[in-house]
């Protein structure tokens, strides 16, 4: 079992901030999870929602803002929206990272950054968009990818195999021994029950 801090230590610090990742590391987690979006000027930043309203003092869609504009916002307790590079630099050598891709089309840029940071073996790149896994595998067959689903598919394992994903991220209420056994039988060895931070 591995403990994963969802958006960092998001119950204790502002979510998806460097402060939340540092707190998670101090708490002894095995991995942190972060969400990645793309700014209007093509920069990768760590933020969950498509809009800025809930977690910052900004307003409107993040995708319409430049990195410079985002750097002026307060993401809670004086924290800023970090770039993905800043987040990776903060956790590198300390914990692994689950990167959730929010914007399909950013796969190659994310993968190149992970490689620059020499973190390919420390990272899982996941998404609700299963074509993200396919794209990543076409770019680098060795990178670990995962698919996320918040409902019960007809055949979740077939869905994962079709996406060439290494890991399944089912919502916790759909995680069952049958699903785990079937996944393991098909070579999918890691499953994560969302909201349970549990690898089986």
Residues with a known catalytic role: 6, 48
- CA 146, CA 165: separation in Å to the nearest integer? 5
What is the torsional sign of CA 158, 160, 164, 168?
negative
Residues whose CB falls within 8 Å of the CB of residue 163, separated by 6 or more in sequence, listed in order = 130, 131, 133, 134, 145, 147
Contact by Cβ (8 Å): 111, 143: yes
- CA 109, CA 156: separation in Å to the nearest integer? 28
CB atoms within 10 A of CB 11: 11
Give start and end residues of each alpha helix (H) in the chain. 18-27, 67-70, 84-91, 107-116, 130-139, 156-162, 177-185
């Amino acid at each position: 079992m591995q403990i994963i801090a969802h958006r960092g230590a998001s119950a204790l610090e502002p979510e998806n901030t460097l402060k939340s990742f540092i707190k998670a590391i101090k708490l002894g987690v095995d991995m942190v999870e972060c969400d990645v979006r793309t700014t209007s000027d093509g920069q990768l930043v760590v933020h969950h929602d498509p809009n800025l309203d809930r977690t910052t003092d900004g307003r409107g869609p993040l995708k319409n803002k430049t990195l410079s504009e985002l750097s002026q916002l307060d993401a809670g307790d004086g924290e800023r929206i970090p770039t993905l590079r800043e987040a990776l630099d903060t956790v590198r050598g300390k914990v692994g990272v689950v990167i959730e891709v929010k914007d399909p089309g950013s796969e190659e840029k994310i993968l190149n950054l992970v490689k620059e940071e020499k973190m390919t073996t420390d990272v899982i790149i996941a998404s609700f968009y299963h074509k993200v896994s396919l794209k990543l595998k076409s770019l680098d067959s060795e990178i670990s990818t995962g698919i996320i689903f918040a409902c019960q598919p007809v055949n979740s394992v077939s869905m994962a195999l079709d996406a060439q994903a290494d890991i399944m991220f089912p919502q916790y209420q759909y995680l069952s021994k049958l699903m785990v056994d079937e996944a393991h039988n098909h070579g999918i060895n890691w499953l994560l029950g969302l909201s349970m931070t549990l690898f089986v």
